[in-house]
Structure formats: C-alpha cells, structure tokens
Structure 1
Amino acid sequence: MKQSRNTIARKEITKLIHESGVALSHAELQVLLDGLCDRVTTYRVLERLMDEGIIHKVVDIDGTLKYAECHTCTTEIHHHDHLHFSCEQCKTVTCVEDVEPKIKLPVNYKVHKINLTVSGICPNCQ
C-alpha cells in the first residue's frame, strides 16, 4: 500500500521534533522538511500531533510559536506545567522537566494551563 504525503510528512515531522532536542517553529520545520510538504500540511500535521499528545506548543521569549516533544502526555491528559528555557544567543527553546513552577492565585481563580518561559544563556552558549 502506498503511503500518502500526509503520512510521510507526519513521520518526518515527528522524527525531526524527536531528534532535535529543542522546540522547533513551523518555519524551522519547513526548512528541515526541504519541500516534502506544503506549509498547510505541516500545520495540519502539527495540530494532529498535539491532539494525540505527541507534541506541545511553546511560545519563546520573542513570541514565536514552537513545538516540542511530549514525554508523559496522552490524548486525554497533557502535562506541560514545566519551565521552558529560551536562549538569547542561539534562540533555542528547551523544555526543563525537572523544574515545575508553582503558582498560587487568589481563591476565585482556577488554573488550566501554565506557560512559563525563562530567557538567558543556555549551557551550550556559555
């Protein structure tokens, strides 16, 4: 059976995000895909991977949306209440799993998601 371009794109996008070790933007993925699929297909694949608990969105310190691999998520439960580190020098965004921020809000507030991005210089750039 012949694979559809969407299936091939899904496999390649999943592989690229897994092997990168850092969050990747849509534009970065398009460059790495080197014409394998168009930008709309890439967006659709990214949405499907998020729905399946394979990746999650990260907004870097400059406001760029990036995508990182999930480690403990399922289609039902997404847990991304960890810190994201945005390097000011190399512009990479890394999930820092061993630091979990705790936020205490007034009684009438209920937290659904936390997106915490810290900027500085990563170990590779020091």
Structure 2
Amino acid sequence: MKQTRKTTAKTEILDLIIRSEIALSHSEIQLSLDGLCNRVTIYRVLDRLIEEDLIHKVVNIDGGVKYASCHSCSTTHNHNHVHFSCQKCKSVTCIEGVEPFFELPKKYKVSDVNFTVSGICPQCC
C-alpha cells in the first residue's frame, strides 16, 4: 500500500464516504464539499483513496460510478462483495458479508469483482 500525504480535501472526502450509509457519486461528493476543491482534485483524491485501499469503486447497473467504504472490515479486507442498486431511489448500498461466487475457466485470473444486484431497497418498499 502506497502512503501519501494527508490533505484537507483527502481527509474531508474520506470522512464523507465513511459517514455515508450509501455509495456516493462524484457529483454527490462535490455537492457535499460545498466548494472545498474542484472536480479534478476530487477525482485525484478518489483515485488515491482507491489505490490506498481505503474505499472502493462501484459500477452501477446504469454504468454510473459510485464510491464506498467498507464499514465492517475485519482482519480479512475484501471489497469483493455484493452491491444493491435501488431502482426507485437510485441508492447503491454495500451488502458486506455476502461475496459473489462464480467459476471461470482455467487460465483466467480475476483481479477485481463488481457484483451489483438491482431491485427495491427496504426504505422504498
């Protein structure tokens, strides 16, 4: 894991993502930061946080990208879990503790998994 310097933007973005119950898009993060930094800085910070394994990227059913933090990481850190995308409120939630299972033919090496389930969340039922 590569260590980098802490900046106000990095600290605020990480805190925002950690506090959020749902995955956040770049535009949601930018809106919440209320002018703290520009959109390019936000992208750079998000890339750095992913590289440092502090957050993970979620590709939604519609192809949109959101960012989330593990809230229950134990000694075995794993971002390969199920994500739930609500068709009604458009929220994306990490469903930790549920890892997708799949089997690929031999000679395929998986480096990352993005498993999204779509439906209606408990708040919208």
TM-score, structure 2 as length reference: 0.86
Indicate the residue corresponding to 1:16 in structure 2: 16
Structure 2 unaligned residues grouped into runs of 5+: 1-5
Structure 2 counterpart of 1:102, which letter? F
Residues 63-118 of structure 1 deviation map (CA, whole Å, 9 limit, x = unaligned): 11110013549xxx962221010011111111111211111112232222111111
Secondary structure of residue in 2 paired with 1:66: strand
Structure 1 unaligned residues grouped into runs of 5+: 1-5
Indicate the residue corresponding to 2:54 in structure 1: 54
CA distance in 2, matches of 1:53, 1:107: 28
Indicate the residue corresponding to 1:3 in structure 2: none
CA distance in 1, matches of 2:57, 2:16: 15
Question: Conserved in 2, the CA contact under 8 Å of 1:53 and 1:78?
Answer: no
Indicate the residue corresponding to 1:107 in structure 2: 106
Structure 2 counterpart of 1:79, which letter? N
Indicate the residue corresponding to 1:119 in structure 2: 118
Structure 2 counterpart of 1:51, which letter? E
- Alignment length (residue pairs): 119
Indicate the residue corresponding to 1:64 in structure 2: 64
Question: Conserved in 2, the CA contact under 8 Å of 1:22 and 1:68?
Answer: yes
| Structure 1 ranges of 4+ moved more than 6 A | none
Alpha carbons of 1:44 and 1:78: their partners in 2 closer, same or farther (altered >3 Å)?
farther
Structure 2 counterpart of 1:46, which letter? L
CA distance in 2, matches of 1:78, 1:67: 16
Secondary structure of residue in 1 paired with 2:98: coil
CA distance in 2, matches of 1:81, 1:49: 16
RMSD: 2.0
Secondary structure of residue in 2 paired with 1:57: strand
**Percent identity between the aligned chains?**
60
CA distance in 1, matches of 2:15, 2:107: 42
